[in-house]
Amino acid sequence: MNVPAAASSASNCSRRSLVAEVERILCRTGADKVHLVGHSLGGVVIAQAIADHRLSGRVDTVITLGSPFGGSPWAGVLPFVEIVRALRPGSPVLRRVAAAPMPAGVRWLSVTASLDIIVPGLRSVPSHAQVETIMFDGVGHLGLLLSRQVIGCIAAALCAQEPATAAEAPMRLLPSAS
């Protein structure tokens, strides 16, 4: 599913589209739950849908890559675009997502990149204590989509395997917020 770049109430539209697509996939496949992977804004859209409880009981795993849960310092550059305003640190959208409890039974893996200047540092980590966080060294924001190590980590997480150790890939498992 592609998230609309900019539209009136783009965030709400994207969230509704995600929920509708999950419902179609579950109906078409007969599966009980889905795995959701979102990069950047896509991760925030997933978090919004989960915060609305519209995906309750339908999600097994969420993997977010460079999603600006703590905001992006670049969001102030284009403040006239609604979807970008929503990604400013402390925006109402991000505060609402941060305040929502993580649903029971959902595994959440947050992937962050040491060279990400769009969503730097731990801004890409949701505030939930149960989130597993992995930081990849030598990768930037868009590199999260292209890195073989990141893709391998996602595949392993979705196959319920343990992620590679730091000796096997340029990444670090970060301690949880708890």
Residue 5 falls within a domain, yes or no? no
Provide the pLDDT for residue 84: 82
Distance (Å, whole) CA 24 – CA 27: 5
User: Considering Cα of 129, then 131, then 135, then 141, what sign does the dihedral take?
Assistant: negative
Instruction: Write out the residue range of the structural domain in which residue 104 sits.
Output: 10-174
Domain of 95, CATH number, reads 3.40.50.1820
DSSP states of 124-167: GS-S-TT-EEEEETT--TGGGGT-HHHHHHHHHHHTTPPPPPTT
Helix axes 92-99, 41-51, angle to 10 degrees: 60
Return per-residue pLDDT of the chain as tens, 178 residues. 444 333 335 666 788 899 999 999 999 999 999 999 999 999 999 999 998 888 989 999 999 999 999 999 988 887 667 788 889 999 999 999 999 988 888 999 999 999 999 999 899 999 887 899 999 999 999 999 999 999 999 999 999 754 444 444 455 665 544 4
Distance (Å, whole) CA 11 – CA 99: 17
Q: Which residues pair with 35 in a beta bridge?
A: 61
Q: Half-sphere exposure (CA, 13 Å, Cβ side) for 88?
A: 13
Residue 105 falls within a domain, yes or no? yes
Q: Which amino acid is at 1?
A: M
Residue 121 falls within a domain, yes or no? yes
Residue 168 falls within a domain, yes or no? yes
Residue 63 falls within a domain, yes or no? yes
Residue 1 falls within a domain, yes or no? no
Q: How many domains does the chain have?
A: 1
Distance (Å, whole) CA 98 – CA 44: 10
Residue 97 falls within a domain, yes or no? yes
Residue 138 falls within a domain, yes or no? yes
| DSSP E strand stretches across the chain | 34-39, 59-65, 107-113, 132-136, 171-174
Say if pTM beats, i.e. exceeds, 0.75.
Answer: yes
